[in-house]
Amino acid sequence: MNQSGFIRCEATRVGEDTTLSQIVRMVSDAAATKAPIAKVADRVSGVFVPAVISIAVITTAVWLLAGQTLGFALARGISVLVISCPCALGLATPVAIMVGNGMGAKNGILFKTAVSLEETGKTEIVALDKTGTITRGEPKVTDILPADGVSENDLLSLAYALEQRSEHPLARAIIHRAQEDALEAQDVTDFRALPGNGLRARLGDTLLTGGSMKYMQSAASISEETLALCEGLASQGKTPLLFARGKQLLGVIAVADVIKEDSPEAIRALQNMGIRVVMLTGDNERTARAIGAQAGVDEVIAGVLPGGKAQVIRKLKLQGKVAMVGDGINDAPALTRADIGIAIGAGTDIAIDAADVVLMHSRLSDVPAAIRMSRATLKNIHENLFWAFFYNVIGIPLAAGLWYPIFGLKLSPMFGAAAMSLSSFCVVTNALRLNLFKLHDAAKDKKIKRKYKEVKPMTKTMKIEGMMCKHCEARVKKTLEAIDGVIEAEVSHEAGTAIVTMDKPVADDVLRQAIEAQDYPVLGIE
């Protein structure tokens, strides 16, 4: 509350662009879409309505033939029509979807569509990006280890000069440390970032390189002692970054990213729900396994290049339904490729756009909460459908007067209307019970025993003419991997072949046409 003075405010987003408006639109859009189970109810209704009309006509005719008055026979037929009004059947799914979606939104979990709300609970494997998802995404420099004849300041200063143009989280850690030490960044030229490997640039006439241990082994001469040192740092969950001037190694700077406080607990919760948890990272094997052990994941897939995450998701999908959780630009293809894409709310806009579910609070603990909400909603829908069918199974014979000759029981159309209203009331009330559901309560989690599928991928070898270089290889590889059913393509311009791995049959003509459209003749497919 400003009681004196002057405040100047700038609205960066207004109207439909505000976060609140986007949340409202997402919830509204999700409520307007149909879940797959709703389509089942629609198909049932398509049979149910003509069946009920036929039963009403037959009931009236049977009672007339049995010698009852026209009034009695019509009352029985009308009672059948009234009591069997498919309102409860029609309400069973959309009301539960609306309430479940609203509950998710209240807790910062936005399901973009009714399909995502239903399908999230069927997840069998959760793939987690490491940086920014399991970890804070704010790595810090832990060790500065210069080579002989190089001071800490020199190593950090040259690393700062190289990293200042990089947007990688590890680069930001070095930049932050250099700024803390009041170092000035030297200007470099010919800067190049090599995704998944490192950086290179020129400082005057000198070539500076920096990056992973694997990359730097080809860029500079590294002793066995340094390699052992790097492996020791990696086993502690730190990422060793090596820097060189020309072929001379300047030293090693170790960087570590802290695991979020709720990550291990969230991963345990997923495992208790019968879900396999896989961590994806571009880190080296040792570092990745150390962080994976701290987080408690079931499997670690290390050394994944930015463009390779979607490839990993394709392979995991052979074993079961996969949910991918990520926050970065390079996670977007994997989020799209997965059965369910879950984006961390603090992530990039492109990741949020590509996902099916958005976690506004950016907590990993919201992943098991989203799965619980989905499972609870689906269970509620099943209860509603059961009640709707059970009510009709009991009500229609009573309305038709089936028990009249035996017990003297008959139902007046007025009471039939009341019973019909009561059935709809029960379905809506049952759906509203979801408002009492506790998303973060793991006490009632049911562990589902799953047998993961072992699907043997199929392979085809294509003989391709006209590939001259690595660029041709990359073009052919990208074209083949964009085809539905293709998991991976290993392309060699030297051998003139492409080995295509598929998770389902893909016609030779489809493969041939895709490649020949890129002006590469296909000589044969085996």
Q: What is the β-pairing status of strands 458-464 and 522-525?
A: antiparallel
Cα 357 to chain centroid, rounded: 7
DSSP-derived letter for residue 259 is B
Cα–Cα distances (Å) from 194 to 168, 197, 199, in that order, read 11, 5, 6
Q: What span, in angstroms and rounded, lies between the C-alpha atoms of 514 and 510?
A: 6
Alpha helices in 66-148 (DSSP H): 70-83, 87-106, 114-120
CA distance 325 to 43: 34
**C-beta of residue 82 within 8 angstroms of C-beta of residue 420:** yes
CA distance 179 to 167: 16
One DSSP character per residue, 151-200 reads -HHHHHHHHHHHHTT--SHHHHHHHHHHHHTTPPPPP-EEEEEETTTEEE
What's the CA gap between 99 and 341, in Å, rounded? Answer: 22
Q: How far apart are CA 328 and CA 337, in angstroms?
A: 15
Question: CA-CA distance, 166 to 193, in Å (whole number)?
Answer: 7
Instruction: Specify whether the CB–CB gap between 30 and 113 falls below 8 A.
Output: yes
CA 190 to CA 200: how far, in whole Å? 8
Dihedral sign computed on CA atoms, order 20, 21, 22, 27: positive
Cα–Cα distance, 362 to 345 (Å, whole number)? 5
Closest alpha carbon to 338 in 153, 167, 126, 55: 126
Q: Which of 17, 42, 129, 349 is catalytic?
A: 129
What residue has token string 């590509």?
Answer: 354
CB atoms within 10 A of CB 43: 10
Residue 188 to residue 160: CA distance in whole angstroms: 10
Active site residue 129: yes
142 phi-psi bin (left φ>0, alpha ψ -120 to 50, beta other): alpha
Q: Please, what sign has the CA dihedral across residues 272, 325, 371, 263? A: positive
Whole-angstrom distance, CA of residue 341 vs CA of residue 339: 7
Q: Which residue has the tokens 């190089």?
A: 150
What's the number of CA atoms in the CB half-sphere (13 Å) around residue 262?
15
The C-alpha atoms of residue 298 and residue 501 are separated, in whole angstroms, by 25
78: helix, strand or coil: helix
Residues serving a catalytic function are 129
